Amino acid sequence: MASPLRLQVHGAPAAAAEDGWARVVESFAAAEGALSRFRDDSDLTRLNRAAGSGMVVPAGEHLYRAISTADRARRVTDGRFDARVLVDLERLGDPGAPLPPGPLAAAPGPGGIVRRPRQRAIGLDRPHDLGGIGKGLALRWAWRRLAPLQAVASGVLLEAGGDLVAGGAPVGEPTWSVGIEDPRGGDEPLGVIAVRDGAVCTSSVARRAWRAPDGRPVHHLVDPRSGESGGDGLLAVTVAGPDPAWAEVWSKALFLAGSRAIGDLARARGLAAWWVEVDGTLRMTPAARSRTAWLAE
């Protein structure tokens, strides 16, 4: 999933930790083979190449679940999260596996995804980018496979490129301590989150930012309503919650709300959210403040 993986285990036999790591690697390999838009042979690439054609294509279990979750996320977030932005990412200069020309360029509608549960088949109206939500789902699936390890460890933390899910705590500690990275490149975290059980995910412009073919600075967090890089006034958004896939969804949806609307939206949803404005100011919701162990001066 284009992310370094790290598994931290406390208070468990070495053999159990090694078995857990093998389960993580196997689970992420399966998720990448299903959900990567950069692989020519992935299930998602095959489905994206049929998008807009009216074809309904058989999909494996991982891909079927991911498309279903992404479609639900679009509805729950009132369209702020929408995985159907692949054409815009390509236009802005972030290509994946080659896609055919033609109906792919059609504008996104209110939702034209066809699902046939019995056949595990899907038809897409637009090509999908499952990057963020795909990583969140990969964390969810791998975490479930770590149940045997969690049963014998005092604490387990699984991280994929800065997004993580944790259970228990390190030996002798009440919680895990998770730093909020300074997206401007500072060496010190802007704050520390206390995590006992659950996920922490971040959407940020610190990585995957480039110049579009016309020279404009752009990044990968595309607003589906405009087709352009969004998040006015923001550099990063972090969300903590029980599930990594939904923490991913809300970190992106809140980012795309921009600095003017993010506070009201996050508080209305009761989310534990932290956000960094372009001047480096860290702000948070009341739910986030109760989880914050330390703040930089």
Query: Helix crossing, 61-76 with 244-268: angle to 10°?
Result: 0
Domain ranges, residue 46: 38-129
Q: What are phi and psi of 121, to 5 degrees?
A: -125, 150
> Residue 4 domain-assigned?
no
> Residue 10 domain-assigned?
no
Summarised one tens digit per residue, pLDDT across range 112-131 is 789 999 899 999 999 999 99
- The total number of structural domains in the chain stands at 2
> Residue 5 domain-assigned?
no
Q: Is residue 191 domain-shared with residue 265, that is, in the same domain?
A: yes
Which of 113-117, 136-140, 215-219, 227-231 is the least confident region?
113-117
Helix (H), strand (E) counts: the chain: 8, 17
> Residue 14 domain-assigned?
no
Domain ends where: 91, 108, 129?
129
> Residue 158 domain-assigned?
no
What pLDDT score does 123 carry?
A: 94
Mean pLDDT of the chain: 94
Does the global pTM surpass 0.75? Answer: yes
> Residue 20 domain-assigned?
no
What CATH number is attached to the domain comprising 208? 3.10.520.10
Q: Which helix (H) or strand (E) holds 253?
A: helix 244-268
Q: Is residue 119 domain-shared with residue 183, that is, in the same domain?
A: no
Q: Is residue 46 domain-shared with residue 113, that is, in the same domain?
A: yes
Residue 108 has pLDDT above 80, yes or no: no
Domain ends where: 62, 97, 129?
129
Domain ends where: 74, 104, 129?
129
What CATH number is attached to the domain comprising 69? 1.10.3980
In 61-162, beta strands by DSSP E:
114-116, 121-123, 155-160
> Residue 74 domain-assigned?
yes
Summarised one tens digit per residue, pLDDT across range 193-210 is 999 999 999 999 998 999
